[in-house]
Amino acid sequence: MISFILRRLASAVPTLFIVVTISFFMMRFAPGGPFNLERPLPPQTMENLNRAYGLDLPLWEQYLRYLSNVVHGDFGPSYVYRDNTVDQLIAMGLPYSIKLGLLALLLALIGGVAAGTYAALRQNSLTDLLVMSVSTVGVTVPNFVVGPVLTLVFAVILAWLPAGGWGDGSLRFLILPMIALALPQLAVFARLMRGAMIEALHADHIRTARAYGLPARTVIVTHAMRAALLPIVSYLAPCAAGLLTGSAVIESIFSIPGVGRYFVIGAINRDYTLVMGTVVLIAIFVIVFNLVVDLLYGLLDPRVRHE
């Protein structure tokens, strides 16, 4: 078990190296640079800036320098937010994104599993159709529509909840962004769960459990649901990594000071270091959650347990 975790963490190093390398060069081959503003800077200023940030060095030297900084945990200064380093920006924004993301993940998971199970147990009935139609809507309607509509209804018209901002971080402020962020994932979970549950209910060992007179609740919860959760758990890793590293759209609509916006702002302004920092952050989350999911998988399914 411990050796499995260590092995997996060790294998993350080459993965991260490849991610850093590819995104570094892709970013650099994109036209423009951090100081190409609408009104061009005087050549002298441009030169000074480039020198100050080391952008005048040959590309491979910049790459090596960046690599050695990253190894030491230093993502460098931001070109857009000139008063801050990328590390500072992430440290400031990440807690907001994680808190919102975790809540949204919980909502999506619980809601999706419940809705999917409910639909599966009433396969092809009207309620099943209804749950599945709603979840199709959940997947297809983009969150930049869901967000403003929620704000309009619950903040503007009904005035039950604040329209945006973090406030004191209490649940009141988080409900609307949480729902907007969770909805598409909830729909995905519901569809996955329905399919997996229908399949699980057809398994031979479910017939055995029924043949032995076990009550419906035991058959469904103990025997069918555990098997049906396996595909859900597999999807958990990319989903959690996506939600916890913040959503640019949701954080902008609800004015939440998370890290989600940095990727878009950084990419538009060619803020090399900020984009790189965000990419590495997301990569780390994906790797960590994949590991967590593999461990969870082993917990649920003895056949893939790691000795």
Partner 1 sequence: MTARTNMKSRTAQAATATGETILAVRQLKVVFDTPDGAVEAVKGVDLDVRAGETLAVVGESGSGKSQTMMAIMGLLAANGRASGSALYRDREMVGLPIKDLNTIRGDKITMIFQEPMTSLDPLYPIGRQIAEPIRHHRGGTAADARARVLELLELVGIPEPARRIDSYPHELSGGQRQRAMIAMALANEPDILIADEPTTALDVTIQAQILTLLQSLQKRFGMAVVLITHDLGVVRHVADRVVVMRRGEVVETGTTRAVFDAPKADYTRMLIDAEPSGEKAPPALDAPVILQGRKVRVDYKIAGGFLKKSGLFTAVHGADIHLRQGQTIGLVGESGSGKSTLGRALLKLTPSSGRVLFDGRDISGFDRKAMRPLRRDMQLVFQDPFGSLSPRQTVGEIITEGLYVHEPQLSKAERDARAVAALQEVGLDPTARNRYPHEFSGGQRQRIAIARAIILKPRLVVLDEPTSALDRSVQGQVIELLRGLQASHGLSYLFISHDLSVIRAMSDYVIVMQGGQIVEEGETAALFSNPREAYTRALLSAAYSR
Residues making contact with partner 1 (CB under 8 A): 7, 10-11, 123, 203-205, 207-216, 218, 222-223, 226-227, 300-303
Please, which residue, 224 or 274, has the CB nearer to partner 1? 224
Q: What angle do CA 179, 182, 186 make, to 5 degrees?
A: 120
**Smallest distance, partner 1 to C-beta of residue 306, A:** 11
- Residue 231 structure tokens: 């595909």
Residue with smaller CB distance to partner 1, 33 or 231: 231
10 Å CB burial of residue 213 (0-12, 13-18, 19+) is exposed
- Whole-number Å distance between alpha carbons of 87 and 76: 7
**Which lies closer to partner 1 via its Cβ, residue 33 or residue 298?**
298
At CB < 8 A and 24+ separation, what contacts does 30-36 make?
30/270, 32/270, 33/270, 34/79, 34/80, 34/269, 34/270, 34/271, 34/272, 35/79, 36/270
Residue that has been written with the tokens 């979840």 in this structure: 135
Q: Measured from the CB of residue 70, what is the shortest distance to partner 1 in angstroms?
A: 22
Distances (CA, A) of 112 to 108, 120, 157, 296: 6, 12, 28, 18
**At closest approach, how far in Å is the CB of 222 from partner 1?**
8
**Tokens representing residue 36 in the block:** 């190409």
Considering the complex, what minimum distance in angstroms separates the CB of residue 8 from partner 1?
A: 8
> Token digits for 81?
């937010």
Helix axes 59-71, 2-29, angle to 10 degrees: 150
Name the residue nearer to partner 1 (CB basis): 73 or 302.
302
* Secondary structure (3-state) at 54: coil
Q: Nearer Cβ to partner 1, position 7 or 172?
A: 7
- Whose Cβ is closer to partner 1: residue 171's or residue 211's? 211
Smallest gap from residue 300 Cβ to partner 1 (A): 7
In the complex, the smallest distance separating the C-beta of residue 129 from partner 1, rounded to whole angstroms, is: 17
* Minimum CB–partner distance for residue 284 and partner 1 (Å): 18
Two structure tokens written together for 126: 């009207």
* Contact call for residues 234 and 293 (beta carbons, < 8 A): yes
**Judged by CB, which is closer to partner 1: 3, or 44?**
3
